[in-house]
Amino acid sequence: MQKRVCIIGAGPSGITALKNLKDKDIDVVCYDRNTEVGGNWIYSDDESHSSVFETTHIISSKTLSQYEDFTFDDFDKTVADYPSHDELRRYFQAYAKRFDLYSYIEFKTIVKHCKRIANNEWQVTIIQNRKEQIEIFTDLVVCNGHHSVPRMPKYPGKFTGQFIHSHSYKKATPFKDKRVLVIGGGNSACDVAVETSRVSKKTSISWRRGYRIIPKFFFGLPSDTVGARSSWLPIKIRSWFNDRLLNILLGKNKLYGLQEVKTKFGETHPTINDELLYKIRHGKVHPKVDIEKLDGNTVYFKDGTSEDLDVIIACTGYILKHSFFDKEFIDYSDGPVPLYLKMFHPNYHDVFFVGMFQPLGCIWPGSELQSKILANYLVGNWKMPSNIKTLCEKEVTDPHYKQIDTPRHTITVDYHKFRKALLKQLPKNWKSKKPQNFSKSA
Ligand SMILES: Cc1cc2nc3c(=O)[nH]c(=O)nc-3n(C[C@H](O)[C@H](O)[C@H](O)COP(=O)(O)OP(=O)(O)OC[C@H]3O[C@@H](n4cnc5c(N)ncnc54)[C@H](O)[C@@H]3O)c2cc1C
Ligand SMILES: NC(=O)c1ccc[n+]([C@@H]2O[C@H](COP(=O)([O-])OP(=O)(O)OC[C@H]3O[C@@H](n4cnc5c(N)ncnc54)[C@H](OP(=O)(O)O)[C@@H]3O)[C@@H](O)[C@H]2O)c1
């Protein structure tokens, strides 16, 4: 059957899907509502798809955050250990240029609805220039990202100050001289608390449990590269070792006035930050426990204390959303996500998810490997396992980490274990650094 494949999204996952399908001479169209390649990494002062801040640098270091077909050394050897959002945007755009992807991407195009009419028949409704049109494809590759639809917390009472989500937080300046409360213990919360504390009258941070804060460097090296040296060990031993190491290097949370950590390493998504503990010990960020209720401009906490505030910034994570599918067809927003290798559906073998996993590490190297398996599948060089349904169930019942049951923990993978599982599906010569030159209409 002649394939015609639709890719939704030209972020880091979408472009590597496009590149690798194109490498196999598959007829493919990629739609993105943006005007450029880069997805989350196209910072904007205004509300957009992107959730990065003016000051965001990644939390995974560059050696573990690169496509192997186009490394940071291939791009620009001077890139920092932890690149900024702008360096990443330029990296992704250079990847798209290098592999001649632009002519396959239709920008300013919203994928509004995807309906599966029959096996290998997708009716995709797109909006271009405010006009709706329908396109027919054999297969769908979903790369719409999972960090752009805010998950807002709910509390008894009403807050009369400004109450926003970290998706809308762009920079610290609007919070100058304000009394700010940041909610959450993830990477957004800690970054936002550190940044607002530079200009605010007072910044507090409310955690509903204790989190271990991991520094960006151990022994002068990026911490993930140090961690990678023990990646051959079973996860349980690695987690035990990481917990011990962090206790020795940083001490217990109570030394900082923070709640004690009751989880093992990996049981919550890791929070990586070099400045939060420093800011707390310099009296710039004030730890608080979970919120009890809101009343006017006062927030009451579960330990009986209260604070009068101007602004609350909820850094409470994002919803895994696919607004273009009918809810009764596919809805992963509350989990579980039973997809083999986090990409293959148990029943529909013409819809694929690339980048829809949450590694303890970087996403796009995994997206690159997923894309290569997908490309092989689409040209008949890789067979879907006959026990696909069992394998999909296993993804849910036997995850890499047994994490706490909160909404953000439905798609976690261990970076190294996941990579190994993906590589097992690929031939030894899987890298393809050379641009291919098939004609666009092939
Ligand atoms: C502040 C912040 C920092 C982060 N830091 C890291 C990090 O250090 N390391 C890491 O690995 N990950 C990090 N992430 C996670 C981030 O999701 C990934 O880095 C990466 O952006 C995932 O790429 P993606 O292509 O899957 O999704 P995205 O980058 O979100 O791209 C999705 C694309 O799909 C398009 N799209 C979506 N819906 C539609 C539609 N209906 N029609 C048309 N186009 C559509 C969007 O316009 C966008 O271009 C961070 C996230 C945030 C919010
Ligand atoms: N510098 C960077 O590279 C950077 C910066 C920001 C974000 N990121 C990445 O972006 C992704 C999203 O991160 P994120 O920090 O925005 O979201 P997140 O990882 O989902 O963290 C959300 C935090 O809010 C808490 N929370 C959720 N609902 C709550 C509620 N109702 N009340 C109180 N607390 C609540 C969660 O608690 P539980 O522990 O109970 O779930 C968690 O601590 C992650 O992959 C992250 O690594 C990276």
Residue-level pLDDT, tens digit, the chain, 442 residues? 799 999 999 999 999 999 999 999 999 999 999 999 999 999 999 999 999 999 999 999 999 999 999 999 999 999 999 999 999 999 999 999 999 999 999 999 999 999 999 999 999 999 999 999 999 999 999 999 999 999 999 999 999 999 999 999 999 999 999 999 999 999 999 999 999 999 999 999 999 999 999 999 999 999 999 999 999 999 999 999 999 999 999 999 999 999 999 999 999 999 999 999 999 999 999 999 999 999 999 999 999 999 999 999 999 999 999 999 999 999 999 999 999 999 999 999 999 999 999 998 999 999 999 999 999 999 999 999 999 999 999 999 999 999 999 999 999 999 999 999 999 999 999 999 999 876 554 4
How many angstroms separate the CA atoms of 37 and 21, rounded?
Answer: 17
Task: Say which ligand is closest to the CA of 342.
Answer: 1
Contacting residues for 154 by C-beta, under 8 A, at least 6 apart? none
Q: How many CB atoms sit inside 10 A of residue 226's CB?
A: 16
How many angstroms separate the CA atoms of 284 and 210, rounded?
Answer: 19
Quote the pLDDT of residue 442: 41
Phi, psi of 429 (to 5 degrees): -95, 50
Q: How many CB atoms sit inside 10 A of residue 39's CB?
A: 28
Q: Counting atoms of ligand 1 from 1, which one is nearest the CA of 318? A: 53
Q: ∠ CA(143), CA(146), CA(149), 5° rounding?
A: 125
Task: Please state the pTM of the whole predicted model.
Answer: 0.97
129, 61 contact by CB (below 8 A): no
Is 412 close to ligand 2, i.e. is its CB under 6 Å away?
no
425, 342 contact by CB (below 8 A): no
181, 158 contact by CB (below 8 A): no
370, 341 contact by CB (below 8 A): yes
Which residues does a 6 A CB cutoff place in the pocket of ligand 1? Answer: 8-14, 31-34, 39-41, 49, 51-52, 56, 58-60, 110-111, 143-145, 147-148, 188, 324, 355, 362-363
Helix (H, G, I), strand (E, B) or coil at 206: strand
How many angstroms separate the CA atoms of 306 and 228, rounded?
Answer: 43
Output the CA 394–ligand 1 centroid distance in Å: 26
Output the CA 56–ligand 2 centroid distance in Å: 15
Is 62 close to ligand 2, i.e. is its CB under 6 Å away?
no
How many angstroms separate the CA atoms of 292 and 306, rounded?
Answer: 9
411, 321 contact by CB (below 8 A): no
Q: Counting atoms of ligand 1 from 1, which one is nearest the CA of 110? A: 42
Q: Is 121 left (phi over 0), alpha (psi -120 to 50) or beta?
A: beta
